[in-house]
A and B are shown apart, each in its own frame.
Chain A
């Protein structure tokens, strides 16, 4: 009996405990449900307010940003956006609000360097220069390589007269964003006007930036400074592609700085041994790589002055290499199936659609004044129509009236024929153009078709005695 009572007692106690446990579970369940609903509601309201705020901020108006702040007051972007919107135009009464908004933005997002940089700008407009400097330096501390931050602080330093610090900041700007090169170089020049200072303090030993700066100097007609920068590029031994130097070389050609052109080309060839021919050492006193032995010519003093005259290298289309003059109705390229020497020649294919009357291919060649030269080249033709085929021309690059010689043309079908022109450069001639041209035909059937090949183009200085019978600019030999 007593044992049954005891058993009942135990059962009662267990039931009470189970009931209590069930009650607790019920409360917990309710609490969990409420919490879940609360969380879902909170998330939904956050998403909703964010969506509404974003919608307003996308308007990019002060009113829009104000509404965005109302819906999402914890987002620093809206404060910065409102400040930015108030800056344009910045009314006199708005400056304090702009400062306050950026201060709020950096308070909410103290690790955002851009906000600090803009706060620094706003402080400066408000005349709080010390605060401005602190804000800019905080921005620099947070993001030392950011182009925007460096650009902003660089400009600040410039206005404060701290030129070297400004140039160092611009260097970091350009390193971070090469597209900022133009604005940064221009600003540095407007602020200092000192090319040496800029080159020393601002231009890093980076090939692309050096050439960007070189192109800027060439574009702004600062030729003397460009030459100094080029010398520095050579001195530093930077690796670069020949095409990167072409704007500078073109500027030297344009300004007829022939000695500098010759020196620059020699330096370029030293760095790129694949550029063949065109030994201009004797013109500027530069020593260059050893050339492949040219054909022996009677009275020849120098090696071949023509670059890539055998067309064994690709056409660079710039500098002192060949340049193709694009024109409709003609296709110009290298040919490795028909050649006179080596493994390549230049192929000129006329499509029969145009009465061409211009240079097809040309090359600048620096020369000495009052010097005798012999030009020789081979040309081959296949099915060249009309009465005017391709021919060679040599003329003074400045003024063709000072020197102009041309060979006979090649028409119909022919094997390799040699064309030779002997001439004496004029007293002021420093730069020649060697051209392959086709003169316009005056006949009814004047649209040229067929293919011509050019190979083994050479030009060498010869002894005066070998050309005593030459009149200046006279065509000496143009045999078919």
Chain B
């Protein structure tokens, strides 16, 4: 009887926690060029939340100041997903590469296992060399970002 009651209470608590779950901020874009987040143009100062996907196009670049100090750099033709774990910020490189200069950031890839995650490490994934596929990805953006305009360094 008590077991069932506790199970119900636990379930309710878990569900309410899930409903109230707010996105966890990871950092801020300190500088960017030719980059999008979920298909929308990225601008400096934008807050990055856990689970956000950043896509950097040709001749683009993004610097993200992560909470707790340090920065992550995402160079051109790269796609990364940033997630927050209890002890670190995780950068999952889906395409291209990413660099960081902080111990609190761990870079890994979707499929490669030999990923270095020490300070100053650089992950380069050439697994997606299919340029046609890259072009398709570039097209998979919203109408808003189809009005291609460079990511401005300052919005004023």
Distance in angstroms from A209 CB to nearest chain B CB is 13
CA distance A247 to B37 in the complex (A): 22
Q: Is A215's beta carbon under 8 Å from chain B?
A: yes
For B60, what are the chain A residues with a Cβ–Cβ distance below 8 Å?
A: none
CA distance A321 to B149 in the complex (A): 32
Q: Is A91's beta carbon under 8 Å from chain B?
A: yes
**A191 touching B47, Cβ below 8 Å:** yes
- Cβ-neighbour of A158 out of B25, B65, B73 (below 8 A): B25
Q: List 10 tightest A-B contacts by C-beta distance, closest first.
A: A219-B143, A219-B142, A186-B40, A148-B156, A182-B144, A159-B25, A155-B47, A88-B31, A88-B63, A183-B43
Q: Is A296's beta carbon under 8 Å from chain B?
A: no
CA distance A95 to B30 in the complex (A): 13
> Given contacts A90-B71, A92-B70, are A183 and B31 in contact (CB under 8 A)?
no
Chain B 39-83 interface residues, beta-carbon cutoff 8 Å to A: 39-43, 45-47, 49, 52, 63, 65, 69-71, 73
For B143, what are the chain A residues with a Cβ–Cβ distance below 8 Å?
A: 215, 218-219, 247
CA distance A158 to B27 in the complex (A): 11
Q: Which residue of chain B has its CB nearest to the CB of A159? A: B25
**A87 touching B31, Cβ below 8 Å:** yes
For A247, what are the chain B residues with a Cβ–Cβ distance below 8 Å?
A: 143
| 0 or 1 for each of A160-187: is its CB under 8 Å from B? (1 = yes) | 0100000000000100010110110111
A to B CB contacts below 8 Å, 11 in the list: A87-B63, A90-B69, A92-B101, A158-B47, A159-B25, A183-B40, A185-B40, A187-B47, A191-B22, A216-B142, A216-B144
Other than the given A92-B69, A182-B40, A186-B38, 8 more pairs (CB < 8 A) read A87-B63, A87-B65, A88-B31, A90-B65, A155-B47, A191-B47, A220-B39, A247-B143
**B30 touching A90, Cβ below 8 Å:** yes
Q: Is B28's beta carbon under 8 Å from chain A?
A: yes
Q: Is B23's beta carbon under 8 Å from chain A?
A: yes
For B22, what are the chain A residues with a Cβ–Cβ distance below 8 Å?
A: 161, 191
**A190 touching B41, Cβ below 8 Å:** no
Chain A 177-205 interface residues, beta-carbon cutoff 8 Å to B: 177, 179-180, 182-183, 185-187, 190-191, 193
For A90, what are the chain B residues with a Cβ–Cβ distance below 8 Å?
A: 30, 63, 65, 69-71, 101
Distance in angstroms from B107 CB to nearest chain A CB is 14
Q: Is A125's beta carbon under 8 Å from chain B?
A: yes
Report the interface size for chain B: residues with CB under 8 A from the other chain.
34
For B65, what are the chain A residues with a Cβ–Cβ distance below 8 Å?
A: 87, 90, 125
Main secondary structure of the interface of A (DSSP, over half): helix
Q: Which residue of chain B has its CB nearest to the CB of A218? A: B143
> Given contacts A89-B73, A155-B47, are A146 and B156 in contact (CB under 8 A)?
yes
Distance in angstroms from A215 CB to nearest chain B CB is 7
Chain B 4-47 interface residues, beta-carbon cutoff 8 Å to A: 22-23, 25, 28, 30-31, 37-43, 45-47
**B46 touching A147, Cβ below 8 Å:** no
**B102 touching A92, Cβ below 8 Å:** yes
For B155, what are the chain A residues with a Cβ–Cβ distance below 8 Å?
A: 147-148, 151, 173, 177, 180
**A155 touching B46, Cβ below 8 Å:** yes
CA distance A173 to B47 in the complex (A): 15
**B46 touching A183, Cβ below 8 Å:** yes
Q: Is B136's beta carbon under 8 Å from chain A?
A: no
Q: Which residue of chain B has its CB nearest to the CB of A158? A: B47
Distance in angstroms from B85 CB to nearest chain A CB is 18
Q: Is A133's beta carbon under 8 Å from chain B?
A: no
**A148 touching B154, Cβ below 8 Å:** yes
Q: Is A420's beta carbon under 8 Å from chain B?
A: no
CA distance A466 to B35 in the complex (A): 61
Q: Is A152's beta carbon under 8 Å from chain B?
A: yes
Q: Is B145's beta carbon under 8 Å from chain A?
A: yes
Q: Which residue of chain B has its CB nearest to the CB of A117? A: B45
Distance in angstroms from A365 CB to nearest chain B CB is 25
